[in-house]
Structure formats: structure tokens, C-alpha cells
């Protein structure tokens, strides 16, 4: 049964591609857009193979209003959009803040304007991040949606905060608009088919792609940044969430926006497992789950790293009827299967 049309920006990206799969599985019509600035058409081929469907797609830059308007002209029946298209490298954002503000804010403004222009009821799911909480006070762990938003530590993080603020103001101003901001913790893993997954450009900055590339022999060893933190084993703690579980939360958020009476038109949800794992614990899970050896050593702390953070996902569990429950070993095996597939390792 068709449920309505959902626009996915950044459809060829890591979380975008997994979300398109789950939307199709749930019976939604999808229109994907992407400019391939940090993604590849191969990912769309993977999505089409998994779903056995041709996915309508337009290659364009969401910050180009003229081009972007054509999507809404062609598909005026878009009922909701999920906005992934954004730059996401924290370090680069510190070096090139204008690039980040220009792209991430302009794309969101274009999407919002096009969503409200004709007065039709529409929803936007915004891809936000737990970075908005900064370093949480220990008494705020696990982090609920009520925890204070702290000043951002990078322009990337600031774009997430600013986009949330823009959307909140727009919900107030435009009665036809509904918004769900999803604050992700640490998305990892790949689709069980190994046809789509994370594709970092250059040296991976994130832990799991660095682990899988090291296991594949592309990197010499994993450097664990800091083992003198005030945590049980001295390494930082994060809430690692499986990308397919995360993708399903987007479907649940769209379902809810299209179903509810509109009394709560701006909602925020934390998306995590509710359990924190240290870097060392994650490394040990990877080794035991895959049976692969992983050379690692301890290195100095990485500037800007938060010591420990994990989610209180109970609001999402309750209101979205969603839970991230894939066991971590399965998640890490999926990441390794994807790396092997990409590298042609048997
Ligand atoms: N990390 C590490 N070595 C790496 C990459 C990351 O020890 O090569 C650590 C990092 O210091 C942090 C955790 O892994 O404690 C998660 O880092 P990631 O960049 O994946 O996510 P984020 O910092 O955004 O939570």
C-alpha cells in the first residue's frame, strides 16, 4: 500500500541511503536528491538492488533554490521531507566555517521555504546531532531531550543548533508545517546485504570506519585517542547506534507527523541505544565478533573530544514506538562485511 511521497535530501549518503531502503520497505514513495559532493551514485544502485525498485532521483544542490524548486514543481504531492544533505566534517568546519554556514543553512532555508510556499501540510524531519548537548554534566546522563543545549564547539555543531532554531521559528510562523528534529548519537554499521554502507573520503575520522580499514590492512594501526579519561577503562564513552535502526526511526517520525492531529508540531527525539560503550569495549567487541586481529595503540587525547555521552531514548521508544535493539556484535559484523565487500576481501 502506498503511503505518500517522501523527499529525501542526501539520499545517496550514509544515513540517507539506509533510510530510503526503510521508507520503501514501509510502503512510501520516495524522491531522492543528492549532489554527490560527498557520496556516490553507486549507493543508489545498492538501494535499488536491495529494494528491487527504481528510485526516482534528481541530482541537484539543495542550496540552489532554482534547481531545488523543480523538485516540488514535479512532485507537488511531497508529504514530508527528510533532510540529510549537509556537510558533516567537524574539523573541516573549524577551518572553513563560511562553507558550512553557507551550505548547511542555505539548504535548510530553501527546503523550508519550498515546503511552506503553497500552504500544503508538510513535515520536515531534520537530521540533528547529540553534539548540541556538548559535554553533558554527569547528573544529566543519560541525556534526555530536556538536557540543556550548550554552546557549540564547532561551526558544524552550530549549524545543527541554528537549523533547529530556524525550524522552530518556522513552525510558529507557518501553520502548515510540522518538524521533527532527530538528535543522533553515533551511527555505525552497514546494511546486512553489504550493498550500502559508510564511504568515508580519505582517512576516516570516525572510530568504526578506522577500525574496519585497519582490519582490512589499509591503516597500520588504530590509535585510541586518550586512555586517561575519568571513565572505568580510561577511554571515551559513546552511544553507538546501528544505522538500520536509525533509518527506521526516520520512518517512524514521518509516520507520526503524517498521522497526528498537529497539536505537537515541533518535536525533538534523541536517537541512541541508551547504553554507553567505551572505545576499548567497542574494539574488543569488534575483535570477538569478527575474529579479525586489530592492531591498536594508545595516543594522546584528540582535541575537542567529549568524555562520555549516551542517550536516554525513552521518549522515542514511547512516542515513536521505536527502539534501537540490534546487538552490537551484529552491528560490528555488518560494518566488517561492508568493508570486505568494498575492498574485495573474502
Ligand atoms: N576515536 C579513536 N580513534 C580514532 C577515531 C576515534 O580513539 O581513530 C575515538 C574518539 O576519540 C571518540 C570515539 O572514538 O572517543 C568516537 O569518535 P568518533 O569520531 O567516531 O565520534 P564522535 O567523536 O563524533 O563521538
Residues 261 and 308: their CA atoms lie apart, in Å, by 38
* Beta pairing partners, 255: none
Q: For ligand 1, say whether the CB of 207 is within 6 Å of any of its atoms.
A: yes
Q: What's the count of helices (H) and strands (E) in the chain, helices before strands?
A: 12, 13
Cα atoms in the Cβ-side hemisphere of radius 13 Å centred on 93: 19
Q: For ligand 1, say whether the CB of 225 is within 6 Å of any of its atoms.
A: yes
**Tens-digit pLDDT profile for the chain (346 aa)?**
568 999 999 999 999 999 999 999 999 999 999 999 999 999 999 999 999 999 999 999 999 999 999 999 999 999 999 999 999 999 999 999 999 999 999 999 999 999 999 999 999 999 999 999 998 998 899 999 999 999 998 999 999 999 999 999 999 999 999 999 999 999 999 999 999 999 998 999 999 999 999 999 999 999 999 999 999 999 999 999 999 999 999 999 999 999 877 778 999 999 999 999 999 999 999 999 999 999 999 999 998 899 999 999 999 999 999 999 999 999 999 999 999 999 999 8
DSSP state of 116: H
Residue of 279, 286, 308, 311 to test ligand 1 pocket, by largest number of atoms within 8 Å of CB: 279
Burial 293-308 (b: 16+ CB within 10 A, else e): eeebeeeeeeeeebeb
Q: Which atom of ligand 1 is nearest to the CA of 223?
A: 3
DSSP state of 220: S
Kindly give the distance from the C-alpha atom of residue 46 to the centroid of ligand 1, in angstroms, as a whole number: 27
Q: What is the pLDDT of residues 290-303, one digit of tens each?
A: 999 999 999 999 98
Kindly give the distance from the C-alpha atom of residue 6 to the centroid of ligand 1, in angstroms, as a whole number: 33
Kindly give the distance from the C-alpha atom of residue 285 to the centroid of ligand 1, in angstroms, as a whole number: 16
Helix (H, G, I), strand (E, B) or coil at 333: helix
Residues 21 and 191: their CA atoms lie apart, in Å, by 9
Phi, psi of 143 (to 5 degrees): -85, 120
Q: Is the Cα torsion angle 161, 163, 164, 170 positive or negative in sign?
A: positive
Q: What is the pLDDT of residues 155-172, one digit of tens each?
A: 999 999 999 999 999 999
Q: For ligand 1, say whether the CB of 318 is within 6 Å of any of its atoms.
A: no
Q: Which atom of ligand 1 is nearest to the CA of 282?
A: 14
* Beta pairing partners, 238: 277
Amino acid at each position: 500500500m502506498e503511503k505518500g511521497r517522501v523527499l529525501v535530501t542526501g539520499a545517496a549518503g550514509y544515513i540517507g541511503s539506509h533510510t530510503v531502503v526503510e521508507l520503501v520497505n514501509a510502503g512510501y514513495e520516495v524522491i531522492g536528491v543528492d549532489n554527490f559532493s560527498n557520496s556516490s551514485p553507486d549507493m543508489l544502485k545498492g538501494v535499488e538492488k536491495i529494494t528491487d525498485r527504481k528510485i526516482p532521483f534528481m541530482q541537484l544542490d539543495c542550496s540552489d533554490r532554482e534547481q531545488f524548486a523543480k523538485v516540488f514543481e514535479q512532485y507537488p504531492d511531497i508529504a514530508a521531507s527528510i533532510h540529510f544533505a549537509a556537510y558533516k566534517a567537524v574539523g573541516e568546519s573549524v577551518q572553513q566555517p563560511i562553507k558550512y554556514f553557507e551550505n548547511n543553512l542555505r539548504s535548510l532555508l530553501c527546503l523550508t521555504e519550498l515546503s511552506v510556499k503553497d500552504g500544503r501540510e508538510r513535515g520536515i524531519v531534520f537530521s540533528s546531532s547529540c553534539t548540541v548537548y556538548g559535554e553533558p554534566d554527569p547528573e544529566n546522563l543519560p541525556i534526555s531531550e530536556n538536557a540543556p543545549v550548550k554552546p557549540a564547539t564547532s561551526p558544524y555543531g552550530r549549524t545543527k543548533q541554528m537549523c533547529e532554531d530556524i525550524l522552530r521559528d518556522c513552525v510558529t510562523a507557518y501553520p502548515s508545517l510540522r518538524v521533527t528534529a532527530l538528535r543522533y548519537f553515533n551511527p555505525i554499521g552497514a546494511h546486512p546485504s553489504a550493498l550500502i554502507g559508510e564511504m568515508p573520503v580519505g582517512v576516516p575520522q570516525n572510530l568504526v570506519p578506522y577500525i574496519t580499514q585497519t582490519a582490512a590492512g589499509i591503516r597500520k594501526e588504530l590509535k585510541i585517542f586518550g586512555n586517561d579519561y575519568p571513565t572505568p577503562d580510561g577511554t571515551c564513552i559513546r552511544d553507538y547506534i546501528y544505522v538500520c535502526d536509525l533509518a527506521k526511526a526516520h520512518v517512524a517520525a514521518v509516520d507520526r507527523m503524517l498521522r497526528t492531529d498537529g497539536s505537537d508540531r515541533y518535536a525533538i527525539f534523541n536517537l541512541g541505544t541508551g547504553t554507553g560503550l567505551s572505545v576499548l569495549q567497542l574494539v574488543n567487541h569488534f575483535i570477538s565478533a569478527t575474529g579479525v586481529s586489530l592492531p591498536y595503540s594508545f595516543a594522546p587525547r584528540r582535541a575537542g573530544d567529549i568524555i562520555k555521552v549516551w542517550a536516554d531514548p525513552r521518549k522515542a521508544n514511547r512516542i515513536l514506538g521505536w527502539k534501537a535493539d540490534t546487538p552490537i556484535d551484529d552491528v560490528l559484523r555488518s560494518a566488517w562485511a561492508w568493508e570486505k565487500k568494498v575492498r574485495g576481501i573474502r
